[in-house]
Chain A
């Protein structure tokens, strides 16, 4: 086979895999939507998953956001004051946090913690025949295993983002005060004049999309597990990497659409 033919075949195979993957995600998402619309899920399981996936991710999300706010302010405050622009510090921290970093970092942390947990859990169930047991009973594995996790993620990631936003902006204030003794009025007035409410809720809309993406990819990858512990590890890694990449891509696309 010539080099060109070999490359063409490689490209074709890659496109084929991409289409198959995207189709698989879309099919699963369609089934989850159908279950949600027809209320074909157990609310108690959604609450249980929301606690496990969301509440137990709270600490790491808050820590990540706190240090992000601190570091933005650390970099911005000294520079801004030296140029006489201290009235913009609060606004720049809040603007970046609420519109971009809050939702995105929460999504990324959620992908690493909760997404990995979903894939590992479902993957283990696949290799120990528990998913096949569901199918053998005539029960849809997507309904029982994916729908509650996806709903829980859809609900909890925006809630986590609210905490991330608040802690990040407060962290920024603390660092501005510590570094350049910025007055509370200067910082918070800047926040109030820069941010509008739609920035906040559009950030939460992004977070909800990231929650869905992470849970969807994690669930899909979990069902692809094969070959025991090594296979579970492989799909878990793949789920986290794919989830994070999708968060970056969708963050750009959503910012483009939501913040014209």
Chain B
């Protein structure tokens, strides 16, 4: 489950109020393997930050570090004003209640209907009456274009619909941050477009901070306010879409062009 024993050897530098998530010199090891190394990133409140990078670069791990599902071996994690890397698990649970998480493979509870999946965080984390829960579930499903699909089981839905059901579950509790892990992976271009629009609509409607992991560059360029490129466990480029696109860094350019010629070993 959660790796215990965080170790911090650097001076914590709390972020200003307009930064929702700050990763400060994060290092994460699994045994001998270094997954993240001296990884630093600021996610601005109310903006959409996209993290791009090669497969296996540690992108999904960053999300899990940012919401406290993984503890870094070194470094500091500040999320919604709290230093997660210092908090006990019980207090991290409280922070996580303010974060929505849409998983790469949806992670819907397959024994429950879509509506029950979406209602689950409300039943577990709030004291709302059933009527209000039903209303919020209906509204969340409408937000992602799944109105009328609540009674179906996840296994009866297409891949794109399952993604959107996962989004509905992530937003139903009105979180301050929403994390999307590879939201368009494995989808056809039309569904990719629908998912991209859905993320934009969610961000626009809820005015939340979004942290998105993706390989899909057209989708990233459509939704991102800031882009970070993760390479070999470190953020090597960070900035606005135009800044990253014009980066002189040959690694960034090779990645954006999808070329097999350049400094990135293929």
| Number of CB contacts from chain A to chain B under 8 A | 55
Task: Mark B194-206 against chain A: 1 for CB-CB distance below 8 A, else 0.
Answer: 0000000000000
Is B221 positioned at the interface, with any CB of A under 8 Å from its CB? no
Q: Please, what's the 1-or-0 string for A141-161, where 1 marks a CB less than 8 Å from any CB in chain B?
A: 100100000000000000000
Number of chain B residues whose Cβ lies closer than 8 Å to a Cβ of chain A: 24
How far does the alpha carbon of A139 sit from the alpha carbon of B108 in the complex, in Å?
15
Given A129, A135, A139, A141, which contacts B105 in the complex, CB threshold below 8 Å? Answer: A129
Is A37 part of the binding interface, using a Cβ–Cβ cutoff of 8 Å?
no
Contacts known (A137-B96, A140-B93); A132 close to B107, Cβ less than 8 A: yes
Which bucket holds chain A's interface residue count?
10 to 19
Q: What is the minimal beta-carbon distance from B133 to any residue of chain A, in angstroms?
A: 14
A139 neighbours in B (Cβ, 8 Å): 93, 121, 124-125
Judging by beta carbons under 8 Å apart, are B125 and A138 in contact?
Answer: yes
Q: Choose one: B2, B94, B99, B103; the contact of A133 (CB below 8 Å).
A: B103
* Minimum distance in angstroms from B247 CB to a CB of chain A: 32
Secondary structure of the B side of the interface?
loop
> By CB atoms of chain B within 10 A, which of A128, A129, A136 has the most?
A136
User: Residues of B at under 8 Å CB distance from A?
Assistant: 1-2, 64, 67, 69, 93-97, 99, 101, 103-105, 107-110, 120-121, 124-125, 173
Binding site for B on A (CB under 8 A): 125, 128-130, 132-133, 135-141, 144, 223
User: Can you show 26 pairs from A to B with CB atoms below 8 A apart?
Assistant: A128-B110, A129-B103, A129-B104, A129-B107, A130-B107, A130-B110, A132-B64, A132-B103, A132-B107, A133-B101, A133-B109, A135-B1, A135-B93, A135-B96, A136-B69, A137-B97, A137-B121, A137-B125, A137-B173, A138-B94, A138-B95, A138-B96, A139-B124, A139-B125, A141-B1, A144-B124
